[in-house]
Structure 1
Amino acid sequence: MPEVVLRVAEEKDAAAMLALYAPYVIQTTVSSEYEPPSLDEFLGRMRSYTTKLPWLVCTVDGQVAGYGYAAPHRTRAAYQWSVETSIYVEESWHRCGIAGAIYAALFELLAMQGYYNIFVGITSPNERSMKFHKAMGFIISGAYQESMFKFGQWRDVLWMGKSLRAHEGEPQPTVPFPEIKDSPLVARALRQAEQRIHL
């Protein structure tokens, strides 16, 4: 039986995560980038985001099979309770529950931190991603028509959103992820989400 671990990503995982991400850039419209970032640039993004938000990685027998993270939705103050999420799974591990497990963990961790909303942009057409996000509780929020040009074509980006809590009263400041990263609650959320993976 393969050993499956869902955990907080570390800088030592960056090269493997980048190798997993690069085909999404080169071969698909899932990523809006034209060229994969360098390892230094990738590490810079990771270091920047993880000052406040979680990056998670799923390994199978020690090899990175998928990863996901939250990033700021917008930088101005009024948006500070909303994030965007991205998840990438190595092709041979699709349909094994890895993306769903990463999302389940992110939902719990972001709620612990005090976030209210998660948004995801999906380059159209991508029916499989839309169905997956609907199954994870996202609803369609709108679209940016013909906002992305890749592979010789203008493409729409569909936006979907999910609420993590009721929008009642004035929100409290969010808690930076490093402050809770080593807590038993985070460990429990990761172990529970890990149970969703079926190899």
Structure 2
Amino acid sequence: MTQDLEEVQVRPGTEADLAPLTDLYNHYVRETAVTFDTAVFTPEQRRPWLHSHPEDGPHRLLVAWTGDRMAGYATSSAFRPKPAYASSVEASVYLAPHAVGRGIGTLLYEALFATLAEEPVHRVFAGIALPNEASVRLHERFGFRRVGEFTEAGWKFGRYWDVRWYEKRLGHHPSG
């Protein structure tokens, strides 16, 4: 790891992060098949997404900064909208190009899973558009196990992309 990880600040995302969060996500929209969004967003269009990740509860947004540059973010979002899925979340991590391979994804996931340990989350799912060996390694390092693969699930950049699904058991059982 070449980044001095002591210089990285990981904290909950706030309204002040909206523009850099949008810029970072738009990089992946324009340049990669990591997301299946095909049109870039304005910060105003991303505001509802930001607000769907409060500072408490199972749906979190954590950001990493190195000095005055956003290095990345991690989220736990609603897995599906139906009530029976409430104890499941979908995790994602996005890194700025300058932050890839420096351990920042690991820092973000460590912080995210520490917050989720206190929440009523039973399963964490992650979908990874293939190929993406770095993301596969990160998720496996955090105890995710492969549960399936959707072939040719998304069309972007003139071709189909497969998505491999992973899950991580956190073990919480709802009391209701």
- Amino acid paired to 1:31: T
Q: Residue by residue, what CA displacement relative to the aligned partner does 1:3-52 show, whole Å, maximum 9, x if unpaired?
A: 32111111111101111121111010001100121211111111123274
Residue matched to 2:18:
14
Give runs of aligned pairs for residues 84-95 of structure 1, distance below 5 A.
84-95=90-101
Q: Which of 126, 130, 136 is equivalent to 1:124?
A: 130
Q: Residue by residue, what CA displacement relative to the aligned partner does 1:47-68 show, whole Å, maximum 9, x if unpaired?
A: 1232742111111113211111
- Amino acid paired to 1:104: E
Q: 1:172 and 1:99 mapped to 2: Cα distance?
A: 32
Q: 1:111 and 1:144 mapped to 2: Cα distance?
A: 29
Could you tell me how far 1:128 is from its partner in structure 2?
Answer: 2.3
Could you tell me how far 1:105 is from its partner in structure 2?
Answer: 1.1
1:134 correspondence with 2:125 = no
Give the TM-score, by structure 2 length: 0.89
Q: 2:154 and 2:133 mapped to 1: Cα distance?
A: 18
The runs of 5 or more residues in structure 2 that have no matched partner are none
- More strand per residue: 2
Residue matched to 2:104:
98
SS where residue 112 of structure 1 aligns?
Answer: coil
1:171 correspondence with 2:174 = yes
Give runs of aligned pairs for residues 1-199 of structure 1, distance below 5 A.
3-50=7-54, 52=57, 53-165=59-171, 170-172=173-175
- Amino acid paired to 2:31: Q
- More helix per residue: 1
Question: How many correspondences in the alignment?
Answer: 170
Alpha-carbon RMSD across the aligned residues, in angstroms, is: 1.7
Contact 1:3 1:61 in 2 (8 A): yes
Could you tell me how far 1:113 is from its partner in structure 2?
Answer: 1.1
Q: Residue by residue, what CA displacement relative to the aligned partner does 1:126-177 show, whole Å, maximum 9, x if unpaired?
A: 22221221112110011122111111111211101111126xxx5137xxxx
Contact 1:107 1:164 in 2 (8 A): no
SS where residue 113 of structure 1 aligns?
Answer: coil
